[in-house]
Structure 1
């Protein structure tokens, strides 16, 4: 079957319970951390914008000047 390749590159693997994990390169870790940060900034930004609606504390058609009852009353 597929051989394990026990060369110089095998020295950087981590084996636990028969599963070998390759060591990551430094730039892989930095890019992954950067993408994780972008994801969390996006999640927190959307929670700030839509969190009250998602939690049921406010209806999407209420307030914030996006065609709500206040703007309709000004035009009539």
Structure 2
């Protein structure tokens, strides 16, 4: 067994049978980059149709046609 619960094993921490090891540098950088992309996407979509999501406007109130001319 790697170590008792709650004790450090080298750089790893074992607690309750789960051993957590420190991340590699590039894992942390890629994770932060993906997090930034996620938040940029959320803010972009909120800008585009946040009022529909919040119930302030119905999506069919745009006045856009679907390529069909008005009679």
TM-score normalised per structure 1: 0.65
Measured against aligned partners, the alpha-carbon deviations of 1:14-36 in whole angstroms (never above 9, x if no partner) come to: 23344320110000000000000
Look up the match of 2:42: 43
Cα distance between partner residues in 2 of 1:24 and 1:13: 10
Q: Which has the larger radius of gyration?
A: 1
Larger fraction in strand: 2
- Separation in 1 of the partners of 2:44 and 2:64? 19
Residues matched between the structures, number = 63
Q: Which has the higher helix share?
A: 1
SS at match of 1:61: helix
Unpaired segments ≥5 residues, structure 1: 5-9
Return the alpha-carbon distance in structure 2 between the equivalents of residues 57 and 18 of structure 1. 49
Structure 2 length normalisation: TM-score? 0.69
Q: Which has the higher contact order (CA 8 A, sep 6+)?
A: 2
State the alpha-carbon separation in 2 of the partners of residues 52 and 39 from structure 1.
20
Q: CA RMSD in A?
A: 2.4
Structure 2: gaps of 5 or more residues: 3-8
